[in-house]
Amino acid sequence: MLGTFKAVAPYLKFNPKKVAIDNGVFKLHYRWTFAILMVATILVSSRQYIGEHIKCISDTINQHVIESFCFFTTTFTVGKHMNESSLKSGAIPHPGVGPYVQEVDEVKHHAYYQWVPFVLFGQALMFYLPHLLWKSWEKKRIYNLVNGLKMIGITRHIGKAMTVGGRDIPSMIETDTRVNDIKESFKNRLSCNEFWGGKLVLCEVLNLANIVLQIYITNKFLGGQFLRLGLWFLREDWQGPMDSLDIVFPKVTKCEFHKFGPSGSIQNHDTLCVMALNVINEKIYVFLWFWFLIVLIASTAAVIWRFFTLFCYRSLRFNQFIFKYASPSAGRLDSDILEAVIRKCNFANWMFLYFLASNMAGFLFRKVLEMIVLDFNLKLRNDEAVDNEANKQKMREEIKYRPIDEVDGALIPKEKLK
């Protein structure tokens, strides 16, 4: 059994040292929900756990023929026989199964079961798509800058490079070069990083839109009964011969097969079919009802939080809180340094800085901030020097070309004329 689900195992691995380019809610979509839907797809596609998907009883029709026909067309249940009282009295053998009058009694056809693996697989791909889109936009920028720097504390006191758990940890000499590269990369992005954060926000909104879409699709797929499925499950007492899930996932259904008789007249063969697949289907969709609800709430909260950060990312108090969460080992960051860096950032730069903090050792992140502020101060002093020299030159030019009778020597310091 474990070998069957081996293909899904890589998506269930949890590696806290891996470079993070998104948040936990994002992972609920492309990692956990994707893996859950893939496992469900394998379950409903495999016969080794539940046997044949459908088994039908017929007096005269070949069993293989009637089972193939009923599985690939539709089976049905009779609405008036979805009655637990009739079932207890022995009037009907199974929920929804009993005599009926065509064109008079309401019947409900069940055709979804043959499409379940395809729908589940398609939904799994839809949950992975925003992550794939974000990876194509992000292009390993964060990874290339900070890979190995989260565990640099291991080599901090040793001074040489190491390999831990298959990951290369740079030496402190290499780390200094990497930190300088990070500082230069961040400075370069201050003027050309307008859309990086916006694309991440777009993918988070796509995650929310996708979970809403998948709930709608699942509800339509199950005949409009998915939205109430979890509530039915919670209210069910599981004591009687019939439960509320039998309405959506009947275990026994009717099927009719028509063929020509010996004299050329059409014969109607009434068949009873056991839907073994629905034993698995009901468990899967009840679980998905609760899981989709959790993902919907988490995704909504994540989008609200993201828009909250959009309005608060310039707040010093907010940044002290958020960077303490992103990099706990960094401790309390210097307010002046943090404010000087944040003042230069737009929202995309701030997001980039946040992911740097999330993937670096705390003392290195503090060092990056200090180096950025130092460069800002050097540039400011250089700009002021250039401005002063430019002002002096402008004054010289004005004096040089001013008419002689407008020049009041008493008002012009001698050093200005040199």
Contact call for residues 306 and 204 (beta carbons, < 8 A):
yes
User: Which pLDDT belongs to residue 174?
Assistant: 66
Q: Residue 407: its pLDDT value, please?
A: 42
pLDDT value of position 412: 43
Helix, strand or coil, per DSSP, at residue 8: helix
The pair phi, psi for residue 395, each rounded to 5°, is -65, -40
Q: What is the DSSP letter of 18?
A: S
**Alpha carbon 65 to its chain's center:** 44
For residue 269, the model assigns a pLDDT of 77
Q: What pLDDT does residue 101 have?
A: 79
Name, in order, each residue with C-beta under 8 angstroms of 48's C-beta and a sequence gap of 6 or more. Answer: 4
Q: How far apart are CA 307 and CA 347, in angstroms?
A: 11
Does residue 168 sit in helix, strand or coil? strand
Rounded distance, CA 65 to CA 56, Å?
Answer: 10
First to last CA, the chain: 91
Partners of 164 in beta bridges = 167
Sign of the four-CA dihedral 395, 401, 402, 407: positive
Alpha helices for 277-346 (secondary structure H): 277-312, 316-326, 335-343
Per-residue pLDDT of the chain (418 residues; tens, 9 = 90+): 445 555 555 555 545 557 778 888 999 999 999 999 998 998 888 765 566 778 888 777 777 888 888 888 888 888 787 777 777 777 777 887 888 777 777 888 887 778 888 999 999 999 999 999 998 888 887 777 776 565 555 455 555 555 555 555 555 566 667 777 777 777 776 666 567 778 889 999 999 999 999 999 999 998 888 998 988 888 877 776 777 888 888 888 888 887 787 777 777 778 888 888 888 888 899 999 999 999 999 999 999 999 999 888 888 888 888 888 877 766 777 788 888 888 888 888 888 888 888 887 777 788 888 887 887 676 555 555 555 555 555 554 554 444 444 444 444 444 444 4
Edge-first strand listing for the sheet containing 107-110: 55-57, 266-274, 252-260, 75-78, 107-110
CB atoms within 10 A of CB 204: 23
Query: 18 — phi, psi (to 5°)?
Result: -70, 145
Prediction pTM value = 0.78
CA angle (206 as vertex; 204, 208 as ends), nearest 5: 75
Cα separation of 72 and 61, whole Å? Answer: 16
Q: What DSSP assignment string belongs to 349-364?
A: HHHHHHHHHHTS-HHH
Nearest 5°: phi and psi at 132? -60, -40
**Residue 56's beta-bridge partner residues?**
273
Phi and psi at residue 268, in whole multiples of 5°?
Answer: -105, 120
Report the distance separating Cα 119 and Cα 40, nearest Å.
11
Asked if 43 and 49 touch (Cβ cutoff 8 Å), the reply is yes
Backbone φ and ψ for 346, nearest 5 degrees, come out as -90, -175
Residue bearing tokens 């050093």: 415
Cβ pair 343, 316 in contact under 8 A: no
Using the Cα atoms of residue 146, residue 148, residue 151 and residue 152 in order, give the sign of their dihedral. negative
* DSSP alpha helix (H) spans, 81-171: 84-89, 116-138, 141-146, 153-156
What does the alpha-carbon distance between residue 176 and residue 182 come to, in Å, rounded to a whole number? 10
Eight-state DSSP code of residue 131: H
Measured CA to CA, the distance from residue 12 to residue 36 in angstroms comes to 9
